[in-house]
Structure 1
Amino acid sequence: MFDEEDNNGLVLCDKYLPVEMLIEIFYYIADCKADLLRCLLVCRRWKMLMNHIWHKKTERTLGKPFPWNDEMPWTVYYLARTKKPYDRNLVKNHSGAMYKKHWDIPEWWLLDSDSERNWTVEEPPVGMPELPQTEPLFKDRQICFAIPYAQCYKVQTIVLTDEGIHPYILDTYQPPIEVSEWYGCRWDCPSSYHLRVKLFHNDDTMIDEFLFRDFLLGRKQNRWLKIEHVFKNYGPGLRRITFEHSSGMEFYRPRHDLKGIKVAGACVCVRNPQEKN
């Protein structure tokens, strides 16, 4: 049985090294996954030390505290350090810089007889004020998705484990998940905006959802608006999120040359997990 009081793993070349010193040594000489995996196999004490080392490397890389407990797998720290999934936007191509890449538009939504029923990209947004410069997503580029006269729909699925968020973190700490998007419409194109964000188990069972709908009339036209929501205490089992939005010019006589509703900066952000109370 492992005994925390003995010197197993602490005596190297007949020299006793305190735990704190070993952690510092391994922190600098074991800088790749293969090295640390080999160290895990030496003995029970070294296996415990490797978790402390990964935790220290993670906090150094992220530049902020990261939760610790004795039961946390080392892979939690490895993924957090290498993929840096927390406190960043997990939505790919949030404003159309890569046209419609990473977004899915179901075939049932597209009509062969109506080629205009689709999303386009505007750079800069036409008939709208500048996107807020206070928003980091728009600092270097003024670009947005726009839709024509007909209603449009698109969706993006985010698999949280693929992004580097370990199931242990999702199930044990349930970090807050912030979702947001900027939207607006031209002064001459009253429109509607719809957002639905869903949380799912691996088996496609829905855990929670956020629904939002806004009608852009009068003073709401010709300005950028932002919708925000935070998911908390959603329970264990979360593995993926769908971000879907649809919109259309429901109050205006259709004109094929107008792109009324604009959306930009779609965001899903998993916050850095905090210590449990």
Structure 2
Amino acid sequence: MGNSKGGMGGTSQSLRNDIAEFEFHGSFEVETLNGLYLNDIYIPEELILNILSYVPAKDMLALTLVCKKWCNIIKSESLWMDIYNRTHSRKAKNIPWYVYYCYFTTDNFSNLIKNGNGQEGFKHWKIIKNYGDEFKIENPPMGCDPLPSDVPEFYGQTGCFATSFHECFKIQEISLIKKRLLMYIMDKFMPHLYVSEWMAGRFDCGCMYTLGVQGHSEKCYDILNPDESMELLSESENSRIDNCFKSNRTETIAQWQGREWQKVEILVERYPTMIQYLYFGHEGRDTQFWKGHYGSKMAGGVLRFIFESIEPLEDMGVTAARRLYEPR
């Protein structure tokens, strides 16, 4: 990406141009057997491919500098499909090698949320509303069941966030500015976006909980404004405005019906191009205005792209999902 002297808007436009114009080079034309000989012993290309498939994915691109032959092998669908088939029960799809590379070397398809159980205090979170007796980290959770021990998104943690008798709302902002390959894949393939979190109430007090996700083409400052953030999070249905999408779910737990942990999930299947910022937000409070921390509790937030939702490209590089989204 080139330097921009046009401020934030100029930088954003420069990034859009970079993504829109970005292309991967094709295979090199190789007329020799260079790269297939080791100590004057010929090694078939199929065997080289098999050997390279055991190299850690994060180290793979460095080996493209060995020679053009190896570059072609490493940047081939066959190599990455072999790697995927060896480590997954689901059969690999014929999608570009760089999609597999992104899958194996980043957290984009596992979890982009950090500190989901409050193990690092409120690090990585931006607290927008902290009313009543404010957010609290409970370890272990009070007035409800312990966190299930077999849930992978807790990463072995036992704590949670607890809310009070007025709105407690915080977010994580996930910038995609430095994730250009992911942005390219989003615009080209539109992988589904999955968002989830576990929540619970207390055994003795009713509560409300809202999970929300937004995507924007520009940094969204309204969501940082307490006077406007609630309206942004409380959209009742999926919506999209210009280069923006929003989705949320709200759960209400009646008094004496809480204490058990339940998973709240959101699936975003369609979104505009050039999304540069993602916002994960949750909000909670109690419904009986009791002093203390009798509101909803939350832990184990997840925001990830679903690799399995990516389908091979169709004619002219336009996916079926993207064509459905675009206005007719």
Q: TM-score, normalised by structure 2?
A: 0.64
SS in 2 for 1:166: helix
2:164 aligned partner, one-letter code: P
Give distance in 2, aligned partners of 1:29 and 1:217: 54
Aligned-partner Cα distance in 2 for 1:194–1:206: 23
Q: Which residue of 2 aligns with 1:169?
A: 185
Tell me if structure 2 keeps the 8 A contact 1:120–1:145.
yes
Figure out how many residues of one structure are paired with residues of the other and give that number.
Answer: 261
Moved more, 92-101 or 58-67: 58-67
Q: Determine what percentage of the aligned residue pairs are the same residue.
A: 24
Q: 1:7 to 1:20 in 2, by over 3 A?
A: same
Query: For 1:142-181, what aligned pairs fall within 5 Å after superposition?
Result: 142-160=158-176, 162=178, 166-181=182-197
In the alignment, structure 1 segments of 5+ residues that lack a partner are none
- 161 and 52 in structure 1: CA distance in 2 versus 1, 3 angstrom threshold: farther
Deviation string, structure 1 residues 33-92 (Cα, Å, up to 9, x no partner): 6742423xx54x55422302894399369823655556x55xx55443333532x22211
CA drift at 1:97: 1.2
Report the equivalent of 1:194: 210
Letter in 2 for 1:150: H
Task: Pick one of 248, 253, 264 that aligns with 1:211.
Answer: 248
Determine if contact 2:136/2:293 at 8 Å carries over to the other structure: no
CA distance change for structure 1 residues 158 and 14 in 2, over 3 Å: closer, same or farther? same
1:177, 1:268 within 8 Å by CA — same for their partners in 2?
yes
Q: Does 1:89 align with 2:111?
A: yes
What is residue 230 of structure 1 aligned with on the other side?
267
Q: 1:55 and 1:100, CA in 2 relative to 1: closer, same or farther beyond 3 A?
A: farther
Matches within 5 A, 1:1-277: 6-7=31-32, 9=34, 18-24=44-50, 32=59, 35-39=62-66, 42-43=67-68, 46-52=70-76, 55-56=79-80, 59=83, 63-64=87-88, 67-69=93-95, 73=98, 76-86=99-109, 88-106=110-128, 109-110=129-130, 117-138=133-154, 140-160=156-176, 162=178, 166-202=182-218, 206-218=243-255, 220-249=257-286, 251-255=287-291, 257-273=292-308, 274-276=310-312
CA separation of 1:78 and 1:134: change in aligned 2, threshold 3 A: closer
Change (3 A) 1:136 1:163: farther
CA spacing shift, 1:94–1:258, aligned 2, 3 Å:
closer
TM-score normalised by L of structure 1: 0.74
Q: Deviation per CA, 1:141-160, whole angstroms, max 9, x where unpaired?
A: 32110022221110001235
Structure 2 unaligned spans of 5+: 1-26, 221-241, 314-328
- State the 1:219 CA deviation: 5.5
CA separation of 1:187 and 1:33: change in aligned 2, threshold 3 A: closer
Over 3 Å counting, the alpha-carbon distance change for 1:8 and 1:97 in structure 2 is same
Q: Relative to total residues, which structure has the larger helix share, 1 or 2?
A: 2
Deviation at 1:228, TM superposition (A): 1.0
Q: Report the Cα distance in structure 2 between the residues aligned to 1:11 and 1:245, rounded to whole angstroms.
A: 55
CA–CA separation in structure 2 for the residues paired with 1:11 and 1:244: 52
Retained in 2: the 8 A contact 1:121–1:144? Answer: yes
- Find the aligned partners of 1:217 and 1:166 in 2 and give their Cα distance: 41
Distance verdict in 2 for CA 1:222–1:165, change over 3 Å = farther
- Report the CA distance between 1:22 and its aligned residue: 4.4
Q: In 2 relative to 1, CA 191–11 (structure 1 residues): closer, same or farther, beyond 3 Å?
A: closer
Structure 1 or 2, whichever has the larger Rg, is 1
| Letter of the structure 1 residue corresponding to residue 83 of structure 2 | E
d(CA) in 1 for partners of 2:219, 2:141 = 39
Q: Match of 2:208, as an amino acid?
A: S
